Structure 1
Amino acid sequence: MIVVENRLFVAEEYADQFVERFRNSMGEVESQPGFVKFELLTPARPDTDSYVAQTYWESMADFEAWTDTDAFREAHADRPPREMFTDKNQLEVHEVAFERTGE
């Protein structure tokens, strides 16, 4: 399994709008082969403007196939205003080495 993390730096005055944009623009990712789950992480402390959009996929091939779909292009078509962001986003991909869960 892989985790794709898109770290985005959002200006405080756009925080609510940013979250709503994600809530309403995920397209049809849930129906894509290999999709496991999506999480949008918001800052828990006031000293950061870092948000993290995480998608979990069964494989890198599944994620790459999603990025080549019309649904992906539609989900990313309506670009937000440039001033919504305080810095460039950072995309990282990690493979899950192991997992532990609570009871």
Structure 2
Amino acid sequence: MIVVENRLFVADEYADQFVERFRDSMGKVESQPGFVKFELLTPANSETDSYISQTYWESMEDFEAWTDTDAFAEAHDDHPPKDMFTEPHELEIHDVAFERTAE
């Protein structure tokens, strides 16, 4: 399994709009083969403007296949205002080495 993490730096005045944009775009990825789950992490305090979008995929191939779909293009074609972001986003992809859950 992999985790695709997109760290986005959002200006305070756009925080609510940013979260709504993600909420409104959901429904496009859930039916994709290999998709496991999505999480949008918001800042827990005012010391950061960093939001983290995380998608979990069964494999890198599943994620790459998603990026070649019309649904992916539709989910990313609504361009936000340029001043919504304070810095360029940072994309990272990680393999899940192991996982623990509650008993």
TM-score surpassing 0.5?
A: yes
Q: Over residues 42-69 of structure 1, what are the superposed CA-to-partner deviations in whole Å (9 max), with x where a residue is unaligned?
A: 0001110000000000000000000000
Query: What is the deviation of 1:27?
Result: 4.3
Post-superposition Cα deviations, 1:41-97, rounded to whole Å, max 9, x if no partner, equal 000011100000000000000000000000000000001001000000000000000
| TM-score normalised by the chain length of structure 1 | 0.98
Q: Which residue of 2 aligns with 1:94?
A: 94
- 1:26 CA drift (Å): 2.8
Structure 1 residue ranges, 4+ long, deviating more than 2 angstroms after superposition: none
Q: By how many angstroms is 1:6 displaced?
A: 0.2
Whose strand proportion is higher, 1 or 2? 2
Q: How many residues align?
A: 103
SS in 1 for 2:87: coil
Q: Which runs of 5+ in 2 are unaligned?
A: none
Rounded to whole Å, the distance in 2 between the matches of 1:82 and 1:60 is 30
Once residues 27 and 83 of structure 2 are traced to their aligned partners in structure 1, the CA distance between those partners, rounded to angstroms, is 24
For 1:60, the aligned partner's letter is M
The RMSD of aligned alpha carbons is 0.6
Give the match for residue 2 of structure 1. 2
- Taking the TM superposition and a 5 Å limit, the aligned residue runs for 1:1-103 are 1-103=1-103
Structure 1: tracts of 5 or more residues without a match: none
For normalisation by structure 2, the TM-score amounts to: 0.98
